[in-house]
Amino acid sequence: MKNITVIGAGTMGNGIAHVFAQNGFAVSLCDVSKEFLDKALSTISKNLDRQVSKGAITADVKESTLKNISLHTALSDAVKNTELVIEAATENIKLKKEIFIELDLLAPASAILATNTSSISITSIAAQTKRRDKVIGMHFFNPVPVMKLVEIIRGFSTSDEVTKTVMSLSQKLGKTPVEVNDYPGFVSNRVLMPMINEAIRTLHEGVAGVEEIDTVMKLGLAHPMGPLQLADFIGLDVCLNIMNVLQEGFGNPQYAPCPLLSNMVMAGNLGVKTGKGFYQYTAGSKDLVVAEYFRK
């Protein structure tokens, strides 16, 4: 496999394009506007600079990685000769279904169609196409160039052959693929999101403050980030959305999102991307400062 298409140039899409291009694949990166694509390429370039300055890659690898990426605003161009499409558009079920209907019409009949969804049923996405056996989940983790896992999610009709191809492809990227079945939250978010939600409940009930909760989990359980900082990093809207998927999918009140999480999302305090969540963020600063409304 040589030609890959990535749909969506946001954080996950540009990370996925970066990793494939660095490993010698020709990547067509597609988004709705040139502005989003240019921004993505500049992010990839900065992340490659970081790898060069740490001695992880050479300047030549940086150059060849960037050369392997072509930018497209027309889906038909982006998928012309593709062998694998990875969709990493906004986490919206209607949008993803529309994209898969188009992909099924435009991409070569032999192409595998993967989605980086963190919560939407692979089986329901596959049902929009006439190639249900060739639709699969490839769930990458942020930051994509750093995180080793790819959660490979088999839809109800995904074939053994497609699963095998995607597993071995992930290994070629230097990642560790893990195969799981298609149930709400898969494995990663079924385990992670209730933990984050419980940390928010712990804060909401006044058991402890933001820093205290995160410190317990960082120093007591060796998590690289506490759950509240991680929620900011992922985006509180994404966390809320996944809790809703778990609650609907399992019909169990144990997955009800904490009202504090819902309130923060309604208020637009979504974490790093809006500059404020459990912590507040200033561009260029690495200091972790608790948001003023949570200070004692």
Active site residues: 118, 139, 151, 189
How far apart are the C-alpha atoms of 219 and 227, rounded to whole Å? 12
Selected binder of ligand 3HC within 25, 36, 100, 141 (CB under 6 A)? 141
User: Which residue from 15, 21, 57 is spatially nearest to 40, judged by alpha carbons?
Assistant: 15
Residue 72: partners with Cβ closer than 8 Å, 6 or more residues away: 28, 29, 30, 37, 78
Residue 230 lies near ligand 3HC (rule: CB under 6 A): yes
Region near ligand 3HC per CB under 6 A, out of 129-137, 141-149, 160-168, 201-209? 141-149
How far is Cα 129 from Cα 49, in angstroms, rounded to an integer?
39
Which of positions 3-62 make contact with ligand 3HC (CB under 6 A)?
Answer: 47, 50-51, 54, 56
CA 79, 85, 91, 94 torsion: positive or negative? positive
State the number of binding residues for ligand 3HC (CB under 6 A).
18
| Smallest separation (angstroms) from ligand 3HC to the CB of 267 | 21
The one segment of 29-37, 138-146, 155-163, 177-185 that binds ligand 3HC by CB under 6 A: 138-146
Is 145 a binding residue for ligand 3HC by CB under 6 A? The answer is: yes
Complete edge-to-edge strand list for the sheet that includes strand 135-139: 69-72, 26-30, 3-7, 84-87, 112-115, 135-139, 149-154, 176-181
Residue whose CB is nearest to ligand 3HC in the complex, by number: 118
**Residue span binding ligand 3HC (CB under 6 A) among the ranges 64-72, 100-108, 139-147, 210-218:** 139-147
Q: Give whichever of 131 and 279 is closer to ligand 3HC, judged by the CB atom.
A: 279
Closest by Cα among 234, 224, 12 to 138: 12
Helix ranges (DSSP H) in the chain: 11-22, 34-53, 59-67, 75-78, 93-106, 122-126, 160-172, 188-204, 210-215, 221, 227-234, 236-250, 259-266
Subset of 78-137 contacting ligand 3HC (CB under 6 A): 118
Is 234 near ligand 3HC (CB under 6 A)? yes
Only one of the segments 78-86, 163-171, 222-230, 249-257 lies at the binding site for ligand 3HC (rule: CB under 6 A); that segment is 222-230
Residues in touch with ligand 3HC (CB under 6 A): 47, 50-51, 54, 56, 118, 141-143, 145-147, 189, 224-225, 230, 234, 238
